[in-house]
């Protein structure tokens, strides 16, 4: 039997009639929703769980989320009652709360992340070891902590993900392969696939400018252009993007290749549902690669697990996996703004 337990102050709440736990590399904070209908044996349970309570959610004995209860919804009549509990990882505070208005110079992504996360009691694990300091990183007014860190991570071509234990990880697209393949006729319960060329182009051009100098001036500085082609788009479909910040020719070409690659990766989404919450070695988790064999879709390829939803309801337990080509989440480092106000590292 699947076992979902919410731990609060040393007490385990189980017996949920419905559960949905979502994690993904496209969202920093994992989230959960737990529902119990009719009456628990313990009649005070409806009032025992409070918003703001620190909690941990265990699935079959493995910790999936460490965070806080966001909402408690109680509905009842003379025949029955229902309690719904919603919560998120600790990283949910980074998504909600504003970043302090300040700027950093000569600091790495890990250093800035640790400084910003420390007041929230959130640890930062650097799985990459990027030691490149920022020339300048500055908070934009109204920016949340997550928005600031995501922007900084994008400059380094890195990802920020929650680890399920209340910390966040600085990482790249996962290379680890799940031990269990997804195969039509064996463990796949259902599939929903989407293919789109709407966001793909035969030619992607990035136009920008860079500061002039003694050896770089005129049109060469004012009209920097980088180009990338997608050979899988066979008809004429060009697009032109204007770089937000100063950029040189090499960086413009890198940006164009990245844009074309990501457009390809995100043009294909496959949602696969399997029975249960586990593969051969543990819970299904995001940022892993899994082999998909589906003759109907013509697939025999390793795809990236972008999102995972563990579900429990009247139909039993299952896992909904959102899969994309790895290119969808393999960002290239982006150029930093030139510093001209004395903040250079």
HEC letters along 314-335: CCEEEEEEEEECHHHHCCCCCC
**CATH 3.30.1920-classified regions of the chain:** 203-265
The residue behind tokens 């998120």 is 88
According to DSSP, the β-strands at 268-275 and 11-13 are: unpaired
SS3 2: coil
Give the span between the Cα atoms of 156 and 36, in whole angstroms.
44
**CATH 3.55.50.10-classified regions of the chain:** 94-171
- If one compares 345 and 226, the residue with the highest pLDDT of the two is 226
The predicted model gives 83-110 an average pLDDT of 96
153 membership: H or E segment, kind and range: helix 145-155
Give the span between the Cα atoms of 132 and 32, in whole angstroms.
36
**The pair of three-digit structure tokens given for residue 63, joined into one six-digit string:** 């910790």
Give the span between the Cα atoms of 156 and 137, in whole angstroms.
12
Please enumerate in sequence order all residues whose Cβ is within 8 A of that of 156, keeping only pairs 6 or more positions apart, or say none.
109, 130, 132, 333
Confidence of residue 130 (pLDDT cuts 50, 70, 90): confident
The predicted model gives 174-201 an average pLDDT of 94
Whole-angstrom distance between the N-terminal and C-terminal Cα of the chain? Answer: 57
- For the whole model, what pTM was predicted? 0.86
259 membership: H or E segment, kind and range: helix 249-265
Give the span between the Cα atoms of 86 and 81, in whole angstroms.
17
Longest Cα–Cα distance in the chain: 83
Mean pLDDT of the chain: 88
CATH number of this structure's domain 4-89, picked from the four choices 3.40.50.150, 3.30.1280.10, 3.40.50.720, 2.30.300.10: 2.30.300.10
Question: What class is the 203-265 domain?
Answer: alpha beta
Residue-level pLDDT at 220? 47
CATH code, 182-196+267-329: 2.30.300.10
CATH fold for domain 94-171: Phage tail protein beta-alpha-beta fold (3.55.50)
**CATH 2.30.300.10-classified regions of the chain:** 4-89, 182-196+267-329
Q: Per mean pLDDT, which of 33-42, 214-223, 247-256, 288-297 is the most reliable?
A: 288-297
């Amino acid at each position: 039997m699947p076992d979902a337990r919410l731990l609060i102050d040393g007490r385990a709440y189980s017996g949920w009639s419905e559960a949905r736990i979502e994690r993904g590399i496209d969202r920093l904070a994992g989230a959960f929703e737990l529902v119990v209908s009719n009456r628990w044996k313990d009649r005070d349970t409806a009032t025992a769980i409070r918003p703001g309570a620190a909690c941990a959610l265990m699935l079959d004995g493995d910790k999936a989320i460490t965070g806080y209860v966001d909402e408690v919804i109680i509905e009842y009549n003379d025949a029955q009652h229902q309690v719904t509990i919603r919560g998120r990882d600790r990283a949910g505070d980074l998504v909600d709360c504003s970043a302090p208005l300040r700027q950093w110079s000569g600091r790495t992504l890990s250093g800035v992340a640790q400084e910003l996360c420390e007041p929230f009691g959130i640890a930062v694990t650097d799985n990459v070891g990027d030691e490149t300091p920022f020339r300048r990183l500055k908070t934009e007014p109204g920016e949340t902590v997550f928005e600031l860190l995501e922007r900084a991570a994008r400059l380094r071509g890195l990802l920020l993900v929650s680890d399920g234990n209340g910390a966040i990880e600085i990482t790249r697209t996962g290379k680890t392969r799940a031990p269990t393949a997804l195969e039509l006729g064996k463990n796949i319960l259902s599939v929903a696939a989407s293919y789109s060329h709407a966001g793909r182009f035969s030619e992607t051009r990035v136009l920008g400018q860079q500061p002039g100098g003694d050896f770089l001036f005129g049109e060469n500085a004012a009209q920097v252009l980088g180009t990338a082609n997608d050979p899988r788009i066979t008809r004429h479909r060009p697009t032109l993007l204007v770089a937000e910040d100063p950029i040189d020719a090499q960086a413009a070409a890198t940006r164009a290749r990245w844009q074309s690659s990501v457009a390809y990766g995100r043009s294909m989404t496959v949602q696969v549902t399997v029975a249960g919450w586990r593969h051969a070695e543990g819970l299904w988790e995001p940022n892993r690669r899994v082999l998909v064999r589906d003759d109907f879709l013509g697939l025999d390829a390793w795809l990236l697990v972008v999102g995972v939803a563990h579900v429990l309801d009247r139909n039993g337990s299952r896992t909904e996996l959102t899969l994309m080509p790895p290119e969808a989440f393999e960002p290239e480092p982006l150029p930093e703004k030139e510093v001209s106000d004395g903040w250079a590292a």
